[in-house]
Amino acid sequence: GKDSLEAMIASVDDGLYAVNFDGGQVDITSGKFVFSANEAYLIKNGKITTPVKGATLIGSGDEVLKKISMVANDLKLDSGVGVCGKDGQSVPVGVGQPSLKIDQLTVGGTEVDA
């Protein structure tokens, strides 16, 4: 992407910065997904503020792709090996992407006192 992460965060009036994820599910027939963030923060007026515990991102892949408005220049690949599985079978997978600004997404979670 062409945008810096700092510029992306500064452009958000009210949102969530999800740093890392620790699990999720995708319905491959509908594209609907649920991902759990293990590190996330509220963004208020372009500044990272309160930590959020148990943030869950819920959506549909095709709809979320239409709502990406910024792509950061911070592409990173996880050095560990992830695993995807179904019906008792698993396969190693790589994980990584640049930071994205998604203009609208359903989020659940709890604010944590800093």
Q: What angle do CA 44, 39, 22 make, to 5 degrees?
A: 140
If you count them, how many residues does the chain have? 114
Domain count, the chain: 1
Cα(19)–Cα(43) distance, rounded to whole angstroms?
A: 12
Q: Based on the number of CB atoms within 10 Å of its own CB, is 32 exposed (0-12), middle (13-18) or buried (19 or more)?
A: middle
Tokens of 110: 């709890």
Q: How far is CA 29 from the centre of its chain?
A: 21
3 state DSSP class of 32: strand
| pLDDT one-digit tens code per residue, 45-67 | 999 999 998 899 999 999 999 99
pTM, two decimal places = 0.81
3 state DSSP class of 104: coil
Per-residue model confidence (pLDDT) at position 78: 77
3 state DSSP class of 27: coil
Higher pLDDT, 106 or 114: 106
| pLDDT one-digit tens code per residue, 76-85 | 887 777 788 8
| pLDDT one-digit tens code per residue, 6-59 | 999 999 999 999 998 888 899 989 999 999 999 999 999 999 999 998 899 999
Domain housing 39: 5-111
